[in-house]
A and B are shown apart, each in its own frame.
Chain A
Amino acid sequence: MSKIITFSESAKAEILDSFNMAVNLETGYIVEKNNSQKIVLSPEGDPLEFRNFAGIKKGSLVFVKSDITSLINLSDTLK
């Protein structure tokens, strides 16, 4: 399995902030810090809400959603 660095719920906001992302407090969606209109999409093309944010991997930057089908897709890419 690829090397996984884990984080707890408490660190979610800090992590997103470090990768130049923010949360639109009205909609709950993750947006780019410099462009609040630009909603971050999951690899499956779904707009990503803060509550459904699961993690980040490389491939420019891929923001993973926490639903079961996204996690199955991620699992299939892990060695």
Chain B
Amino acid sequence: MAWHAVLGKLLAKISPKINLDVKNPIIINKLNVHITNIDNNQDVNYDPEKNTCNINLKNLEQNLKKEILSLDLLEEERILLQDKCKDTIEEFRSQEKLAETQERLRFLDKKIPLEDLNIWRAALYLRHCYTTKGLKQKVGAIKYQIMQKFGDKGRNIANLCTAGYLEEWLMPAYEKLKETLADEDLAKLEFGKIYSNLVNQLPFTIFVSHVMSRDELKKEILRRKEFGIAFVNIHAIGDINVLKVKAVTVEIEKEREHCDEVKKHHIFVRIYFKDTGETKQTANPCETPR
């Protein structure tokens, strides 16, 4: 029996109470179906407002349960998906349809390795959750999943994206290269090198995490100085991390041997190194990242 017919048979049990032609496959196929397994006294009900048929496996007869959860369910391109995952896909799709997301993805396409594109797509969705009321609770889990799947590079891209480096550093850097080199292929090649260095090494950026100690933070700052760059941006979110940055920057400022200046911006700190080959001007291709 086709799956819509099984569903129709199930709904026939309540059809006298609902206004639904349970024998019409077109109507049955248009129904939303949601499956639960909870303690109540219903096996099936129909919500006309949401055009949804709710099936409770707990109270379903064994043979009907077998027919509902059969391979036929997966025919005709049907997919069985947990409700919260469907919500995530719908949110992801609507976020990806936004003009600004499209513009970012068009920029990244063919300029970065193909395998990095999905990391950026996930990172852009992460940032969307971070800035959208009602989705913030997803941020921790999504960031963990990106890190788990893509390791340090995933963590770096997630952090860079959230801090605005795509729009405020990578995109302007590419435009500058295009302008300077006057050759798009060459600009793409050079951009690829800068991009790779940025996402793999974070040469002028440190994202302070809760597991990073003060000593580790100081070591990371001084390691950046060895790169010969003019400054390092330090980003920290949360009271404990902000206090950590404050303590270490005070220490470095007091020592006077490493840095010229510490600029404390709204949510990040920039340390200008002493005696590096670069000047503030040339080593400062981006303005103030978020």
Contacts and interface: CB of A to CB of B under 8 A. Distances in A.
Contacts of A75: 89, 92-93
B74 A57 contact: yes
B198 to A, nearest CB: 21
B65, B81, B118, B148 — most chain A CB neighbours (10 Å): B81
B145 interface: yes
Interface stretch (A8-16, A22-30, A31-39): A8-16
B80 A67 contact: no
Given A14-B57, A66-B85, A8 B79 contact: no
Interface string A49-79: 0000111111001001011110111110011
Contacts of B86: 4, 6
B34 interface: yes
Interface centre among B29, B36, B38 (most CB of A within 10 A): B36
A3 B65 CA distance: 20
B82 interface: yes
Contacts of A55: 79-82, 85
B82 A3 contact: no
Interface string B30-63: 0011111110000000000000000001000000
Given A3-B29, A7-B36, A18-B69, A53 B82 contact: yes
A71 B88 contact: yes
Nearest to B60: A14
A4 B69 contact: no
Given A14-B69, A58-B75, A68 B142 contact: yes
A6 B34 contact: yes
A69 to B, nearest CB: 5
Nearest to A46: B149
B83 interface: yes
B114 to A, nearest CB: 13
Contact of A56 (B75, B80, B118, B146): B80
A67 B148 contact: yes
B77 interface: yes
Given A57-B74, A58-B74, A69 B80 contact: no
A47 to B, nearest CB: 13
Contacts of B150: 69
Given A7-B36, A74-B89, A68 B78 contact: no
Interface of B: 29, 32-38, 57, 65-66, 69-71, 73-86, 88-89, 92-93, 118-119, 121-122, 125-126, 142, 145-146, 148-150
28 contacts: A3-B29, A3-B76, A5-B80, A7-B80, A7-B81, A8-B37, A8-B83, A9-B82, A11-B35, A13-B37, A18-B65, A18-B66, A18-B70, A54-B82, A54-B85, A55-B82, A57-B80, A67-B145, A68-B88, A68-B122, A68-B126, A69-B118, A69-B119, A71-B89, A72-B92, A72-B118, A72-B121, A73-B118
